Amino acid sequence: MAKFNRILLKLSGESLMGEQRYGIDEKRLGEYAAQIKEIHDMGVQIGIVIGGGNIFRGLTGAGKGFDRVKGDQMGMLATVINSLALSSALTAIGVKARVLTAIRMEPIGELYTKWKAIDCMEAGEVVILSGGTGNPYFTTDTGSSLRGIEIEADVMLKGTRVDGIYTADPEKDPTATKFSEITYDEIYTRGLKVMDLTATTMCKQNNLPIYVFNMDVVGNLKKVMDGEPIGTYVHN
């Protein structure tokens, strides 16, 4: 029995690079698809938001002279490219997947609505929610918070390159210790950077818990669904 019935899985675009410096690593993409299939086979309803940092980050572009709005729009399109890649990888291993976009761009994907996403998940499809919120000045973290709340997910699973939330950056501070669970208020008090403030506040206000774990270790997604304490649980 899976710990959660319906999830919003937030994936890092940068993690999709694998060992590369840019773009999509087919090995990492295949590992992600296989892990998603594992929990799909358990009957879990799955919505996915994936970032675009392996291709283009709007905020980085703005720092290099791009217009911020155009830079963010480029970042949104990068998430669509990653979503199509993940959809293709899932379909190749027998999992029905559907890409919904925040901005109308048929036939690349269908325009997102809450009810379409829920109908597809209840019909057994993995739904990949691309294009962020469709608006500039919002990160994919905020996009995943918004979508998680809209689709009435039980939890947002934030798949990162670290195995949870620490008192400090464990790569810089060897004395940093990991939290098994933490409240939103404590995240604010300690100034921890789990997600951007807008995303964190949305989850707190709408009582959507977050589970932070290392998605890059094969098998970890199923461990989370089995209830193994491998990451950090964030709640009110």
pLDDT, tens only, 13-57: 999 999 898 999 999 999 999 999 999 999 999 999 999 999 987
% of the chain with per-residue pLDDT over 70: 99
State the number of CA atoms in the 13 A half-sphere of 129 facing the CB: 33
Task: Reply yes or no on domain 6-235 having CATH 3.40.1160.10.
Answer: yes
Tell me the whole-structure pTM to 2 decimals.
0.95
The DSSP line for 126-166 is EEEEESTTSSTT--HHHHHHHHHHHTT-SEEEEEESSSS-B
User: What radius of gyration, in Å, describes the C-alpha atoms of the chain?
Assistant: 17
Tell how many helices (H) and how many strands (E) occur in the chain: 8, 9
Give φ, ψ of 20 to 5 degrees. -85, 170
Tell me the residue type at 192: L
Give φ, ψ of 210 to 5 degrees. -125, 140
119: which residues sit within 8 A by CB, 6+ positions away?
A: none
pLDDT higher than 80, residue 82: yes
The whole-number average pLDDT for the span 148-158 is: 98
pLDDT digits (tens, 9 = 90+) for 197-222: 999 999 999 999 999 999 999 999 99
Of the pLDDT bands very low, low, confident and very high (cuts 50, 70, 90), residue 117 is very high
**Predicted local distance difference test score (pLDDT) of residue 61:** 66
75 exposure class (CB count in 10 Å sphere: 0-12, 13-18, 19+): buried
The whole-number average pLDDT for the span 57-83 is: 87
**Predicted local distance difference test score (pLDDT) of residue 170:** 83
Instruction: Indicate the average pLDDT of the chain.
Output: 95
State whether residue 8 is helix, strand or coil: strand
Beta sheet of 110-111, edge-to-edge order: 110-111, 97-101, 126-130, 45-50, 6-11, 155-160, 210-214, 232-235, 181-183
Buried b (16+ CB within 10 A) or exposed e, 146-180: bbbbbbebbbbbbbbebbbbbeeeeeeeeeeeebe
State whether residue 235 is helix, strand or coil: strand
**Predicted local distance difference test score (pLDDT) of residue 123:** 98
Give φ, ψ of 31 to 5 degrees. -65, -45
